[in-house]
Chain A
Amino acid sequence: DIQMTQSPSSLSASVGDRVTITCQASQDISNYLNWYQQKPGKAPKLLIYDASNLETGVPSRFSGSGSGTDFTFTISSLQPEDIATYYCQQYDNLPPGITFGQGTRLEIK
Protein backbone atom coordinates (compact mmCIF):
# COMPACT_ATOMS: atom_id res chain seq x y z
CA ASP A 1 0.00 0.00 0.00
CA ILE A 2 1.07 3.57 -0.68
CA GLN A 3 1.89 5.63 2.39
CA MET A 4 1.50 9.40 2.52
CA THR A 5 3.72 11.59 4.67
CA GLN A 6 2.37 15.09 5.18
CA SER A 7 4.37 17.85 6.86
CA PRO A 8 4.42 19.82 8.97
CA SER A 9 1.78 18.49 11.36
CA SER A 10 1.14 22.02 12.57
CA LEU A 11 2.07 25.46 11.39
CA SER A 12 1.73 28.98 12.74
CA ALA A 13 1.90 31.93 10.37
CA SER A 14 0.91 35.58 10.13
CA VAL A 15 -1.76 37.11 7.94
CA GLY A 16 -0.24 37.80 4.55
CA ASP A 17 2.44 35.11 4.86
CA ARG A 18 3.11 32.53 2.19
CA VAL A 19 2.35 29.09 3.60
CA THR A 20 3.60 25.78 2.20
CA ILE A 21 2.58 22.23 3.11
CA THR A 22 4.17 19.15 1.60
CA CYS A 23 2.98 15.63 1.00
CA GLN A 24 5.25 12.77 0.01
CA ALA A 25 4.09 9.44 -1.37
CA SER A 26 5.97 6.21 -0.77
CA GLN A 27 5.86 5.47 -4.51
CA ASP A 28 5.02 7.21 -7.75
CA ILE A 29 1.37 8.29 -7.83
CA SER A 30 1.61 10.43 -10.98
CA ASN A 31 -0.60 13.44 -10.26
CA TYR A 32 -3.29 11.56 -8.30
CA LEU A 33 -3.06 13.93 -5.34
CA ASN A 34 -5.80 16.12 -3.93
CA TRP A 35 -5.95 18.73 -1.15
CA TYR A 36 -8.76 19.50 1.29
CA GLN A 37 -9.48 22.16 3.89
CA GLN A 38 -11.37 21.22 7.05
CA LYS A 39 -12.64 23.79 9.51
CA PRO A 40 -13.67 22.71 13.04
CA GLY A 41 -16.97 20.89 13.10
CA LYS A 42 -17.28 20.90 9.32
CA ALA A 43 -16.80 18.41 6.54
CA PRO A 44 -13.63 18.67 4.46
CA LYS A 45 -13.79 20.86 1.38
CA LEU A 46 -12.01 20.04 -1.86
CA LEU A 47 -9.53 22.77 -2.85
CA ILE A 48 -7.12 21.22 -5.35
CA TYR A 49 -7.53 18.07 -7.46
CA ASP A 50 -5.06 16.22 -9.66
CA ALA A 51 -2.19 17.96 -7.88
CA SER A 52 -2.63 21.40 -9.41
CA ASN A 53 -6.21 22.02 -10.53
CA LEU A 54 -8.16 24.57 -8.54
CA GLU A 55 -11.69 23.47 -7.70
CA THR A 56 -14.38 25.82 -8.96
CA GLY A 57 -15.05 28.68 -6.56
CA VAL A 58 -11.83 28.26 -4.58
CA PRO A 59 -9.77 31.48 -4.21
CA SER A 60 -6.72 31.74 -6.41
CA ARG A 61 -4.39 32.22 -3.42
CA PHE A 62 -4.56 28.44 -3.06
CA SER A 63 -2.38 26.40 -5.38
CA GLY A 64 -0.83 22.96 -5.70
CA SER A 65 2.10 21.49 -7.56
CA GLY A 66 4.12 18.34 -7.94
CA SER A 67 4.01 14.91 -9.50
CA GLY A 68 5.43 11.50 -8.84
CA THR A 69 6.17 11.34 -5.12
CA ASP A 70 6.54 14.96 -3.99
CA PHE A 71 3.72 17.47 -3.79
CA THR A 72 3.30 20.97 -2.45
CA PHE A 73 0.26 22.97 -1.37
CA THR A 74 0.65 26.74 -1.11
CA ILE A 75 -1.39 29.63 0.22
CA SER A 76 0.16 32.70 -1.37
CA SER A 77 -1.12 35.22 1.18
CA LEU A 78 -2.64 33.80 4.34
CA GLN A 79 -6.05 35.16 5.30
CA PRO A 80 -7.76 34.80 8.71
CA GLU A 81 -10.46 32.59 7.19
CA ASP A 82 -7.80 30.09 6.08
CA ILE A 83 -7.38 28.82 9.62
CA ALA A 84 -8.15 25.13 9.30
CA THR A 85 -6.61 21.70 9.01
CA TYR A 86 -5.41 20.72 5.55
CA TYR A 87 -5.22 17.16 4.22
CA CYS A 88 -3.67 15.62 1.16
CA GLN A 89 -5.31 12.54 -0.34
CA GLN A 90 -4.05 10.06 -2.90
CA TYR A 91 -5.72 7.43 -5.03
CA ASP A 92 -4.13 4.05 -5.71
CA ASN A 93 -5.62 1.78 -8.33
CA LEU A 94 -3.76 -1.39 -7.45
CA PRO A 95 -5.72 -2.31 -5.45
CA PRO A 96 -8.30 0.45 -5.61
CA GLY A 97 -7.95 2.54 -2.51
CA ILE A 98 -7.74 6.03 -1.08
CA THR A 99 -5.38 7.31 1.59
CA PHE A 100 -5.26 10.65 3.38
CA GLY A 101 -2.24 12.38 4.80
CA GLN A 102 -2.08 12.96 8.54
CA GLY A 103 -3.18 16.57 8.26
CA THR A 104 -1.60 19.98 8.91
CA ARG A 105 -3.19 22.26 11.48
CA LEU A 106 -2.72 25.88 10.41
CA GLU A 107 -2.94 28.62 13.02
CA ILE A 108 -2.58 32.38 12.94
CA LYS A 109 0.49 33.73 14.73
Chain B
Amino acid sequence: QVQLQESGPGLVKPSQTLSLTCTVSGGSISSGGYYWSWIRQHPGKGLEWIGYIYYSGSTYYNPSLKSRVTISVDTSKNQFSLKLSSVTAADTAVYYCARVPMVVGYYFDYWGQGTLVTVSS
Protein backbone atom coordinates (compact mmCIF):
# COMPACT_ATOMS: atom_id res chain seq x y z
CA GLN B 1 0.00 0.00 0.00
CA VAL B 2 1.49 3.29 -1.09
CA GLN B 3 1.65 5.98 1.56
CA LEU B 4 2.63 9.62 1.23
CA GLN B 5 3.60 11.93 4.08
CA GLU B 6 4.17 15.67 3.90
CA SER B 7 6.67 17.38 6.18
CA GLY B 8 8.02 20.88 6.65
CA PRO B 9 7.55 24.10 8.61
CA GLY B 10 4.01 25.02 9.53
CA LEU B 11 4.82 28.71 9.69
CA VAL B 12 6.59 30.77 7.06
CA LYS B 13 7.25 34.50 7.06
CA PRO B 14 6.01 36.70 4.22
CA SER B 15 8.47 37.07 1.31
CA GLN B 16 10.30 33.88 2.33
CA THR B 17 10.29 30.51 0.59
CA LEU B 18 7.91 27.75 1.60
CA SER B 19 9.61 24.34 1.52
CA LEU B 20 7.83 21.00 1.90
CA THR B 21 8.88 17.41 1.37
CA CYS B 22 6.76 14.39 0.57
CA THR B 23 8.11 11.00 1.60
CA VAL B 24 6.73 8.03 -0.32
CA SER B 25 6.59 4.55 1.20
CA GLY B 26 5.28 1.27 -0.15
CA GLY B 27 6.57 1.96 -3.63
CA SER B 28 9.58 3.43 -5.39
CA ILE B 29 9.39 6.79 -7.14
CA SER B 30 12.14 5.64 -9.53
CA SER B 31 10.15 2.65 -10.76
CA GLY B 32 8.30 5.00 -13.08
CA GLY B 33 4.70 4.95 -14.23
CA TYR B 34 3.58 7.81 -12.03
CA TYR B 35 3.78 11.55 -11.68
CA TRP B 36 4.19 12.97 -8.18
CA SER B 37 2.17 16.05 -7.47
CA TRP B 38 1.44 18.90 -5.10
CA ILE B 39 -2.05 20.30 -4.53
CA ARG B 40 -3.16 22.94 -2.06
CA GLN B 41 -6.40 23.98 -0.43
CA HIS B 42 -6.94 27.42 1.01
CA PRO B 43 -8.87 27.39 4.31
CA GLY B 44 -12.50 26.58 3.62
CA LYS B 45 -11.94 26.68 -0.13
CA GLY B 46 -11.50 24.34 -3.07
CA LEU B 47 -8.51 22.47 -4.44
CA GLU B 48 -5.73 23.98 -6.54
CA TRP B 49 -3.21 21.89 -8.46
CA ILE B 50 0.34 23.23 -8.07
CA GLY B 51 2.38 20.94 -10.28
CA TYR B 52 3.88 17.50 -10.74
CA ILE B 53 7.17 15.80 -11.43
CA TYR B 54 8.34 12.55 -12.97
CA TYR B 55 11.21 10.59 -11.44
CA SER B 56 13.43 11.74 -14.29
CA GLY B 57 12.95 15.34 -13.19
CA SER B 58 10.46 16.45 -15.85
CA THR B 59 8.04 18.94 -14.34
CA TYR B 60 4.72 20.58 -15.17
CA TYR B 61 3.43 23.56 -13.20
CA ASN B 62 0.17 25.42 -12.85
CA PRO B 63 0.68 28.52 -15.02
CA SER B 64 -0.73 30.73 -12.27
CA LEU B 65 2.08 29.68 -9.89
CA LYS B 66 4.82 28.76 -12.34
CA SER B 67 7.02 31.79 -11.69
CA ARG B 68 7.30 30.94 -7.98
CA VAL B 69 7.22 27.13 -7.90
CA THR B 70 9.96 24.54 -8.04
CA ILE B 71 9.28 20.83 -7.62
CA SER B 72 12.23 18.48 -7.33
CA VAL B 73 12.76 14.78 -6.71
CA ASP B 74 15.31 12.80 -4.69
CA THR B 75 15.01 9.18 -5.76
CA SER B 76 17.68 8.07 -3.27
CA LYS B 77 15.41 9.15 -0.43
CA ASN B 78 12.15 8.32 -2.25
CA GLN B 79 11.04 11.89 -1.74
CA PHE B 80 9.90 14.83 -3.78
CA SER B 81 9.77 18.43 -2.68
CA LEU B 82 8.00 21.73 -3.21
CA LYS B 83 9.47 25.18 -3.00
CA LEU B 84 7.23 28.23 -3.32
CA SER B 85 9.04 31.54 -3.26
CA SER B 86 8.00 35.05 -2.22
CA VAL B 87 5.05 33.83 -0.19
CA THR B 88 2.24 36.04 1.05
CA ALA B 89 -0.76 35.44 3.29
CA ALA B 90 -2.58 34.24 0.17
CA ASP B 91 -0.33 31.16 0.19
CA THR B 92 -1.70 30.04 3.56
CA ALA B 93 -3.23 26.66 2.82
CA VAL B 94 -3.20 22.95 3.47
CA TYR B 95 -0.64 21.43 1.12
CA TYR B 96 -1.13 17.87 -0.11
CA CYS B 97 1.18 15.59 -2.02
CA ALA B 98 -0.36 12.94 -4.24
CA ARG B 99 0.38 10.29 -6.84
CA VAL B 100 -0.80 10.48 -10.44
CA PRO B 101 -0.80 7.30 -12.54
CA MET B 102 0.51 7.99 -16.03
CA VAL B 103 -2.70 7.18 -17.83
CA VAL B 104 -4.59 9.23 -20.39
CA GLY B 105 -6.85 11.08 -17.97
CA TYR B 106 -4.69 12.04 -15.05
CA TYR B 107 -6.16 11.52 -11.58
CA PHE B 108 -4.83 11.45 -8.02
CA ASP B 109 -5.13 7.95 -6.58
CA TYR B 110 -3.10 8.28 -3.37
CA TRP B 111 -2.83 11.37 -1.19
CA GLY B 112 -0.87 12.43 1.85
CA GLN B 113 -2.81 13.61 4.89
CA GLY B 114 -1.95 17.23 4.19
CA THR B 115 0.00 19.82 6.13
CA LEU B 116 -1.17 23.31 7.03
CA VAL B 117 1.25 26.07 6.18
CA THR B 118 0.52 29.51 7.56
CA VAL B 119 2.22 32.58 6.16
CA SER B 120 2.53 35.18 8.87
CA SER B 121 5.12 37.41 10.47
Contact = CB atoms under 8 A, between A and B. Distances in A.
Nearest to B4: A43
B63 A100 contact: no
B104 interface: yes
Contact of B63 (A42, A91, A95): A95
Q: What's the dominant secondary structure at chain B's contact region? A: loop
A43 B105 contact: no
A33 interface: yes
Contacts of A30: 105
Contact of B112 (A1, A31, A36, A43): A43
A43 B96 contact: yes
**Range, interface on chain B:** 20 to 34
Interface stretch (A10-18, A20-28, A44-52, A74-82): A44-52
Interface residues of A, number: 28
Which are the 3 A-B pairs with shortest beta-carbon distances?
A32-B105, A43-B111, A98-B49
Interface of A: 1, 30-34, 36, 42-46, 49-51, 55, 87, 89, 91, 95-103
Interface of B: 37, 46-49, 60, 62-63, 96, 98, 103-109, 111-114
